[in-house]
A = this chain, B = another copy of it.
Amino acid sequence: MFPLPLPMRAALDAARAAADAGEVPVGAVVMLGERIVATAANAPRRLCDPTAHAEMLAIREAAKALGRDRLEQCDLWVTLEPCAMCAGAIAHARIQRVYYGAADPKGGAVEHGPRFFTQPTCHHRPELYGDIGSAESAALLRDFFEQRR
């Protein structure tokens, strides 16, 4: 087994921080080449913002840092399969590649449900790489929900 790429390790660290803050543990990182442009943890409760998924916060932070509303040449790393909201945002942002961890049969929109990037109304399709660090991501989510029962 090869070691996890650095951006996914950073995304998992953010997911752990989300869990510590009482939020569903999902983390995301935006890279421009080898450089981390933004890192974010899922935070809808803390921020009082139903749109504050890790991917959304990382995309917004990266766009602000780069001073443009499109993230061509940027890659997104996220610990969980993106939902429809985040998949839509990824397309709007023109993200080049998406690397994600655990699949999400309940709420995912990449390989489940609407399979957004295969829709004719999707105007930008990133390269997609799933199942990266999925065991660690799934364990974080499982532990989080078990502790809440």
- Report the separation of the CA atoms of residues A21 and B103 in the bound assembly, to the nearest whole angstrom: 40
A86 at the interface (CB under 8 A from B): yes
Considering only residues 53-110 of chain A, those with a C-beta below 8 Å from chain B are 56, 59-60, 63-64, 67-71, 83-89, 91-94, 105-109
Chain B residues in 8 Å Cβ range of A71: 50
Assuming the contacts A109-B121, A113-B119, A114-B121, asked whether A69 and B92 have C-beta atoms less than 8 A apart, the reply is no
A60: which of B49, B63, B64 is its contact (CB, 8 Å)? Answer: B49
Do the beta carbons of B106 and A113 come within 8 Å of each other?
A: no
Q: Is the CB of A63 within 8 A of B84?
A: no
Contact between chains at A92 and B51 (CB < 8 Å): yes
CB distance from A102 to the nearest CB of B (A): 15
Taking A84-B91, A84-B114, A85-B92 as given, write out 18 further A-B residue pairs in contact, using a Cβ cutoff of 8 Å, ordered by the A residue number. Answer: A44-B92, A49-B63, A50-B59, A50-B71, A50-B92, A50-B93, A51-B51, A51-B60, A51-B92, A83-B92, A84-B116, A84-B122, A105-B121, A106-B121, A109-B114, A112-B121, A113-B122, A114-B114
